[in-house]
Amino acid sequence: MQIGMVGLGKMGGKMAERLRRGGHDVVGYDRDPAVSDVSSLKELMERLQEPRAVWVMVPSGPPTHATIEELGNLMSPGDILVDGGNSHYVDDQKHGAALGAKQIGFVDCGVSGGVWGLENGYALMVGGSTENVERLMPVFDTLKPEKDGFVHAGEIGAGHFAKMVHNGIEYGMMQAFAEGWELLEASDVVTDVPGAFKSWRTGTVIRSWLLDLLVRALDEDPALEELEGYAQDSGEGRWTVQAAVDHAVPLPVITAALYARFASRQDDSPAMKVVAALRNQFGGHAVTSKEGSVAKGADSPGADVVPPVEAQK
């Protein structure tokens, strides 16, 4: 099958290569001319035979919006556009409606597999009409792993909704591994922390690819001394928590994992300043100033504390 691939970065480039290895005719476009087959989206459209299929793999948000809008002005009725980036499912519904008005098909596809997908295949979560999804099945069959790894999750938006929840679960699993590692490191009982994680890889209920990747990271840097305790988020965790609020579904683990990422970016957490100040006020717990000195607790001799009104009676 012939397909255009827009965005040939870490994911898009390897996906294009996997498709070529599978016998597909891939015409790629990227802003980097060194990896691009054509010089513009217009030339890409001219190279593809109608009815055309174009897969977009660019960063979510404004880059995706702009790319889809430009392609929508270049495509013809009967063409199909696939958004394979990490877009918000609400945006999919808007894009699908705008393209549908021009009789251009739209399919959203959540893709998981990272840099390993070229060899192992990509998990694909797809949203769109049955007709459009079936037309693209030769591409999906080549990209996915040999077993499982594909779902037609529902109508437009369903693919990215499923991927959003997948990434939310990933947040929670990663946070659990991270907290376990920190506790093991803090303990003076366990002296081989990397070995403990390796021992869990076979025969345990927490064996997983994430565990394998953590063991790999610990092999390279046993105490993770080369890394800073800062974790970015790419948006899906926030969208998952927001969707939970919209649907009144409690997500305590995923929400806590998202907030932990926010906390990782604060060298001197404002929220913890408030907590420390309140603990000092109501419980007399000592606090540490920026200069490193220990401030007097509320029950320390000489501390200027005004008791609650009830206590004064």
Collapse the DSSP code of 282 into the 3-class scheme (helix H, G, I; strand E, B; otherwise coil) and give the result.
Answer: helix
Do 194 and 217 fall within a single domain? yes
Q: Give the CA distances from residue 41 to residues 68, 134, 137, 174, in Å, rounded to whole numbers and listed in that order.
A: 11, 25, 24, 38
Please determine, for residue 287, whether its predicted confidence score (pLDDT) is greater than 80: no
Give the amino acid at 121: G
- 194 and 288 in a single domain? The answer is no
Domain count, the chain: 3
Residue 13 maps to a domain: yes
Tokens 């919006």: give the residue: 65
Pair 142, 22: CB distance under 8 Å: yes
For residues 72 and 214, membership in a common domain is answered with no
Question: Could you give the 3-state DSSP secondary structure of residue 73?
Answer: helix
Between 1-10, 87-96, 103-112, 176-185, the lowest mean confidence (pLDDT) is in 176-185
Q: Are residues 202 and 256 in the same domain?
A: yes
Tell me, yes or no, whether 51 lies in a domain.
Answer: yes
Residue 61 inside a domain? The answer is yes
- pLDDT at residue 101 is higher than 80: yes
Q: Is there a single domain that holds both residue 111 and residue 60?
A: yes
Overall average pLDDT of the 161-175 stretch: 93
pTM of the model: 0.83
> Going by C-beta distance under 8 Å and a sequence separation of 6 or more, which residues neighbour residue 260?
175, 178, 231
Indicate whether 12 and 149 sit together in one domain.
Answer: yes
Claim to verify: residue 207 and residue 291 sit in the same structural domain: no
Whether 94 and 208 share a structural domain = no
User: 102 and 203 share a domain?
Assistant: no
- Distance of alpha carbon 17 from alpha carbon 57, whole angstroms: 14
For 246-258, the pLDDT digits (tens) are: 999 999 999 998 9
Predicted pLDDT at 204: 97
Distance CA 90, CA 92 (A): 5
What is the pLDDT at residue 299?
A: 44
Catalytic residue numbers read 163, 170
Q: What is the pLDDT of residue 308?
A: 44
Quick check: helix, strand or coil at residue 71?
A: helix
- What is the span of the domain harbouring residue 102? 2-156
Amino acid at 146: E
Q: What is the CATH number of the domain that holds 16?
A: 3.40.50.720
Same domain, 178 and 145: no
Please tell me the least confidently modeled range out of 186-190, 244-248, 294-298. Answer: 294-298
CATH number for position 255: 1.10.1040.10
Same domain, 7 and 151: yes
Would you state the pLDDT for residue 225?
81
- Contact assessment for residue 194 and residue 220, using Cβ atoms and an 8 Å cutoff: no
CA distances from 120 to 149, 200, 207, 231 (A): 10, 23, 18, 26
In the structure encoding, which two tokens stand for residue 74, read together? 């270049």
pLDDT in tens, 198-234: 999 999 999 998 999 899 999 988 888 877 777 777 7
Rounded Cα gap, residues 105 and 226, in angstroms: 47
Q: Give the model's pLDDT for residue 312.
A: 42
> What's residue 266's pLDDT?
76
Is pLDDT at 270 greater than 80 in this prediction? no
Cα 288-294-299 angle, rounded to 5 deg: 105
pLDDT at 148: 93
Could you tell me the CA-to-CA distances from 157 to 49, 125, 171 in Å, in that order?
A: 27, 10, 21
The better pLDDT of the pair 307, 86 is held by 86
Last residue of some domain: 156, 175, 208?
A: 156
Instruction: Give the model's pLDDT for residue 149.
Output: 96
Residue 44: closest CA among 68, 59, 26, 57: 26
Give the Cα separation of 297 and 304 in Å (integer).
9
Q: Is the pLDDT of residue 294 over 70?
A: no
Report the candidate in 12, 10, 111, 117 with the shortest Cα–Cα distance to residue 54.
Answer: 12
